[in-house]
């Protein structure tokens, strides 16, 4: 199990590895079990087991027999940022572009978890790493307002140090709106208000960003996401082949053909 500390305060590169490392350990444990390695019989409910360490929890029902599989509830992140930052990004893009000199204040209202995770620590107003920036509502909102998008270029060192962006972030206030908690987890609502120096107010509201179950991406959206996030690592030929393999994934006899296409050569 990965610790939540990797997503608090100043975020390091390990943020993106914590979950995958837990999965790697799980795969390794499965391989050991297949070879006859034994383990504690009451690893969850036993004394000093998982429930003693983290508290008791219930397993959700497995899919099948008219029950939906968990994968059918997959949420896609269309922007390279923390999951709960997707709706603030879309709300900001809807109001972009803005002249930072015209802005008096920016107010972001969100639910508790988003506020707690990416909208209340001082580091989120002064990110020095990409990992902190993509887990910062102030940063994501301001980048989207200025650029009309959030993509890999939003997290270069030069962009993070841009004086105009840094100055605009100091005008952002993130508020936990308890009324929005009621919409969770069926939606991830965000209410954005920009107040200009001339007294004008601009409002934007998003409940389901593109990629959520209630606002699913099209096949073309997913393909374009791969192209946008590729950053020149893979050639257009390899991207096309990779897309073809993924759409035919259930027909493949060996998944190594997919891995081969994403391996940097």
pLDDT band of 265, cuts 50, 70, 90: low
- Residue 132 and residue 32 share a domain: no
Q: Within this chain, do residues 49 and 117 fall inside the same structural domain, yes or no? A: no
**94 shares a domain with 44:** no
Is the residue at 138 inside a domain? yes
Residue 9: band (very low, low, confident or very high) from pLDDT cuts 50, 70, 90: confident
What's 2's DSSP letter?
-
Contact 230, 239 (CB under 8 A): yes
pLDDT of the residue at 199 = 95
* pLDDT tens-digit series, residues 28-74: 999 999 999 999 999 999 999 999 998 999 888 888 888 989 888 88
Q: Are residues 99 and 199 in the same domain?
A: yes
Q: What percent of the chain clears pLDDT 70, i.e. is strictly above it?
A: 100
Residue-wise pLDDT tens digits, 101-132: 999 999 999 999 999 999 999 999 999 999 99
> Is the whole model's pTM more than 0.85, yes or no?
yes
What per-residue confidence (pLDDT) applies to 248? 94
Residue 213 lies in a domain: no
Q: Is the pLDDT of residue 146 over 90?
A: yes
Determine phi and psi for 257, rounding to 5 degrees.
Answer: -65, -35
Same domain, 28 and 131: no
Residue located via tokens 């997919």: 258
**Exposed / middle / buried, residue 211 (Cβ in 10 Å: 0-12, 13-18, 19+):** buried
**Which run of H or E residues covers position 191?**
strand 190-196
Task: Decide if pLDDT at 264 tops 80.
Answer: no
* 193 and 225 housed in the same domain: no
Asked whether residue 72 is assigned to any structural domain, the reply reads: no
> Band of the pLDDT at 262, cuts 50, 70, 90?
confident
The per-residue pLDDT for 159 is: 96
User: Is residue 88 domain-shared with residue 197, that is, in the same domain?
Assistant: yes
Regarding whether 189 and 87 lie in a shared domain, the answer is yes
The count of domains in the chain is 3
Record the tokens describing residue 229, joined without a space. 């996030």
* 66 occurs within a structural domain: no
**Residue 148 located in a structural domain:** yes
- Residues 193, 202 contacting (CB under 8 angstroms): yes
Residue with tokens 């603030």: 88
Dig out the tokens for 236 from the structure: 């257009």
> Average pLDDT over the chain, rounded to whole?
93
Q: Looking at the structure, do residues 43 and 89 belong to the same domain, yes or no?
A: no
Q: Which domain holds residue 247?
A: 219-262
CA-nearest of 133, 87, 139, 132 to 114 is: 87
Q: Is residue 129 part of a domain?
A: yes
The verdict on 160 and 109 lying in the same domain is yes
Give a yes or no: residue 177 inside a domain.
Answer: yes
CA-CA distances (angstroms) from residue 133 to 52, 97, 113? 35, 20, 17
- Which tokens sit at 65? 């027999």
192: CATH: 3.30.1330.120
What are phi and psi for residue 162, nearest 5 degrees?
-60, 125
Do the domain assignments include residue 160? yes
What integer pLDDT is reported at residue 232 of this predicted model?
A: 83
Q: Give the single-character DSSP code of 236.
A: H
Specify the residue for token string 């105009």. Answer: 164
């Amino acid at each position: 199990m990965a610790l939540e500390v990797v997503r608090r305060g100043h975020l390091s590169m390990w943020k993106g590895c914590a979950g995958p490392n837990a999965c790697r350990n799980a795969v390794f444990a499965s391989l050991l079990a297949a070879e006859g390695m034994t383990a504690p019989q009451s690893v969850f409910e036993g004394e000093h087991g998982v429930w003693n360490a983290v508290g008791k929890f219930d397993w959700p029902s497995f899919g099948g027999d008219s029950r939906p599989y968990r994968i059918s509830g997959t949420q896609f992140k269309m922007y390279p940022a923390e999951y709960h930052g997707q709706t603030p990004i879309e709300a900001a893009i809807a109001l972009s572009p803005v002249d930072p000199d015209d802005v008096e204040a920016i107010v972001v209202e969100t639910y508790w978890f988003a506020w707690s995770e990416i909208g209340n620590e001082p580091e989120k107003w002064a990110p020095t790493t990409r990992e902190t920036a993509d887990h910062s509502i102030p940063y994501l909102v301001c980048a989207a307002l200025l650029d009309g998008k959030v993509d890999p270029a939003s997290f270069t060192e030069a962009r993070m140090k841009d004086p105009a962006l840094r100055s605009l972030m100091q005008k952002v206030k993130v508020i936990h709106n308890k009324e929005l908690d009621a919409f969770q987890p069926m939606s991830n609502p965000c209410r954005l208000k920009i107040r200009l120096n001339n007294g004008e107010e601009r409002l934007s509201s998003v409940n389901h960003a593109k990629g959520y179950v209630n606002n699913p991406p099209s096949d073309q959206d997913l393909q374009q996401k791969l192209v946008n996030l590729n950053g020149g690592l893979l050639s257009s030929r390899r991207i096309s082949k990779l897309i073809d393999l993924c759409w035919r994934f259930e027909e493949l006899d060996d998944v190594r053909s997919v891995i081969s296409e994403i391996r940097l050569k």
